[in-house]
Structure 1
Amino acid sequence: MTPFIAKLIERSCVTTHADCPLDDLIVVLAERRIGTVVVVDRDHQVIGIVSERDIIRHLSNGGTTADTLTKNIMTSKVITVENNVTSAQLMQLMTEHRIRHVPITRDGKLVGIVSIGDVVKRLLEKYEQEAELIKQFINS
């Protein structure tokens, strides 16, 4: 496991259950200032993911938040990664599938989540480190 992934796993990952009312889920997104919540079962297995895009799609198709459950709008075919993934692999996966959040699993159970912002930040850190090493080499 890379230090990058280890750091992501240390922070909390907001989850919900499939029968959570959509109104409650929206409150969680707003209060936590996040764009995605992972849907897990009792064994902490990933069974879905709900993003702001899913909610907007539901509303734009005439749906309402009243009496709607998370399972009715969640994306069920979730792309996940194991905890040995690299930032370069994540960038490729997110770009290829046009997704902004990927749950991290270990032995099939949710252990964290990575966002496109996390990946961009990590890549910028790597470029800054490389630039500094090049400067040091040139000045030596």
Structure 2
Amino acid sequence: MKISDVVKSKGADVVTLRPDATVSELLRVLAEHNIGAVVVSDDGEAVSGIVSERDVVRHLGRAGAEILEQPVTHIMTAEVHTCSLGDEIEELAGAMTERRIRHVPVVEDGRLTAIVTIGDVVKHRISQLQDERDHLVGYINQ
């Protein structure tokens, strides 16, 4: 199965935030969209970084509340692991586990097209296993 299969079922909406947005703005966006991470982008297409709830918590613990007025660039991950629609889901799941990341932007021809979360990967795999089980039960009952 490919990443495109996951994107087809979940949709390609991606929430982005400009690099000059503050951490406070980030928190508002995360809450508003009920998401755990945002792609940082100047134009909504190029990936400059990614910033998550975990990043906020870690930096709050180190720097205190003044981090809330800093730009998200101070806490974002700049070296972003990305994937493409043609990548295999199993390979992405392995990379996410190994790198301990939960959100991976999908990039095609240098443009941000979607985002895949570990929850999306697990949900897709469960659905796949249920389909396999149903086929086996149907075969046995014939």
TM-score where L is the length of structure 1: 0.92
How far apart are the structure 2 equivalents of 1:74 and 1:139?
53
Cα deviation code 1:93-124 (max 9, x no counterpart): 11111111100010111000001110110000
SS in structure 2 of the partner of residue 27 of structure 1 = helix
- Listed as ranges, the matches of 1:30-41 within 5 Å are 30-41=31-42
Tell me if structure 2 keeps the 8 A contact 1:50–1:74. Answer: yes
Q: Return the letter of the residue paired with 1:91.
A: A
Corresponding position of 2:96 = 94
SS in structure 1 of the partner of residue 104 of structure 2 = strand
1:43 Cα deviation (Å)? 6.6
Corresponding position of 2:107 = 105
Query: Percent sequence identity over matched residues?
Result: 40
1:32 Cα deviation (Å)? 1.1
Corresponding position of 2:70 = 68
How many corresponding residue pairs? 139
Q: Return the letter of the residue paired with 1:55.
A: V
- Listed as ranges, the matches of 1:1-140 within 5 Å are 2-8=4-10, 10-42=11-43, 44-63=45-64, 64-140=66-142
TM-score where L is the length of structure 2: 0.90
How far apart are the structure 2 equivalents of 1:83 and 1:47?
19
1:38 Cα deviation (Å)? 0.2
Tell me if structure 2 keeps the 8 A contact 1:5–1:84. Answer: no
